[in-house]
């Protein structure tokens, strides 16, 4: 293990986590009204209706898979009676299907963003960077899975990458665990750290919030202009415009 390993597997993850947390606090305090998905549904909905659920359901399964594979220790699943083989097969099949769905969904969303005029016009430089990094993370994750566990001989990341991931949160970082991981997994983890660092400054902030207030907020009442406005004269400056 050398100094570079400490930079990549200790300094970089803590830096990414710090920027992720403080960035969200900053964004919420200074750009509360910009905290949005910046939905483009009103410009186009045919492609969105396919791409968006494919991407979002796919990424949800990928997220659950990462919790199962990175957060839950191997000893726990084994104690619960899940053999290494059963875990491996489930993870590879589910992970590959979910990964392909996520990537397919993202491809549709990016194609739509580029080809539908008004959606492209509403795409900022910030969006373009975010889509590029997001696609990179997903492509590398899928490539690592396929290379190591679909066509390759099998790589048990639950003895290296997973304990490294947890060691960051225990505040006892162990870079040696990651230093020997296959390069595709290393690149996948590094690209994910980059994604976490830009996250608070992009439209991805919408992931952490839901418009729960909509359930209980008062109605917005729309009234058409009425020809019969009553007999009272309008106040000065409030005269109707037509
Ligand atoms: C530091 C954070 C991360 C680590 C350590 C990590 C680690 C891993 C590992 C070990 C796999 C292989 C899973 C398997 O073969 O069963 C994987 C796959 C994958 N990862 Fe990550 N990952 C991270 C963050 C992310 C993020 C943020 C995304 C998406 C935005 C992502 C998307 C994927 C995808 C699409 C796959 C392939 C299919 C799948 O397993 O579902 N990963 N990742």
Question: Annotated binding residues for heme b, as ranges?
Answer: 56, 66, 188, 206
Token pair belonging to 36: 């949005």
Contact 160, 188 (CB under 8 A): no
- The residue to mutate among 192, 194, 195, 198, having the most atoms of ligand 1 within 8 angstroms of its beta carbon, is 192
Question: Dihedral through CA 37, CA 38, CA 41, CA 46, nearest 10?
Answer: -70
Query: Which residue has a Cα nearest atom 19 of ligand 1?
Result: 141
- What is the average per-residue pLDDT within 80-91? 90
Token pair belonging to 51: 């791409």
Longest dimension (CA), the chain: 86
- What is the average per-residue pLDDT within 179-185? 95
- What is the average per-residue pLDDT within 131-135? 97
Q: What percent of the chain has pLDDT over 70?
A: 97
DSSP assignment string, 136-177? HHHHHHHHHHIIIIISSS---GGGTHHHHHHHHHTT---HHH
CA–centroid distance, residue 111 to ligand 1 (Å): 23
Q: Which protein residues touch ligand 1 with a CB less than 6 Å away?
A: 62, 65-66, 69-70, 91-92, 95, 98-99, 102, 134, 137-138, 141-142, 144-145, 149, 157, 161, 165, 185, 188-189, 192-193, 195
Q: Token pair 């803590």 is at which residue?
A: 14
Q: What is the pLDDT of residues 187-233, one digit of tens each?
A: 999 999 999 999 999 999 999 988 888 888 877 777 766 666 677 78
The predicted structure's pLDDT at residue 205:
95
Query: Which residue has a Cα nearest atom 41 of ligand 1?
Result: 95
Q: What is the pTM of this model?
A: 0.87
Query: Which residue has a Cα nearest atom 16 of ligand 1?
Result: 91
- What is the average per-residue pLDDT within 120-124? 93
Token pair belonging to 126: 């910030």
Spell out the domains of the chain, with CATH numbers in brackets: 3-213 (1.20.950.20)
Q: Token pair 């994604």 is at which residue?
A: 195
Among 6-10, 38-42, 100-104, the least confident range: 38-42
Query: Which residue has a Cα nearest atom 17 of ligand 1?
Result: 141
Contact 200, 35 (CB under 8 A): no
Atom of ligand 1 nearest to the CA of 138: 35
């Amino acid at each position: 293990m050398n100094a570079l390993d400490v930079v990549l597997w200790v300094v970089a993850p803590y830096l990414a986590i710090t920027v992720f947390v403080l960035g969200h606090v900053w964004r919420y305090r200074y750009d509360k009204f910009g905290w949005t998905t910046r939905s483009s549904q009103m410009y186009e909905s045919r492609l969105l209706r396919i791409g968006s659920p494919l991407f979002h359901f796919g990424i949800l399964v990928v997220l659950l898979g990462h919790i199962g594979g990175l957060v839950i220790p191997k000893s726990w699943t084994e104690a619960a009676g899940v053999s290494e083989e059963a875990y491996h097969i489930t993870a590879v099949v589910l992970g590959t299907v979910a990964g392909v769905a996520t990537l397919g969904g993202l491809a549709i969303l990016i194609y739509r963003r580029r080809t539908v005029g008004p959606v492209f016009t509403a795409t900022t430089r910030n969006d373009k960077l975010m889509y590029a990094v997001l696609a990179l993370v997903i492509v590398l994750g899928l490539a690592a899975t396929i290379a190591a566990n679909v066509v390759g001989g099998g790589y048990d990341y639950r003895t290296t990458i997973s304990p490294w991931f947890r060691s960051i949160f225990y505040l006892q970082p162990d870079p040696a665990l990651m230093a020997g991981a296959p390069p595709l997994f290393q690149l996948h983890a590094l690209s994910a750290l980059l994604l976490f660092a830009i996250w608070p400054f992009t439209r991805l902030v919408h992931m952490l919030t839901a418009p729960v207030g909509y359930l209980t907020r008062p109605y917005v009442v729309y009234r058409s202009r009425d020809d019969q406005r009553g007999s009272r004269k309008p106040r000065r400056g409030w005269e109707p415009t037509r």
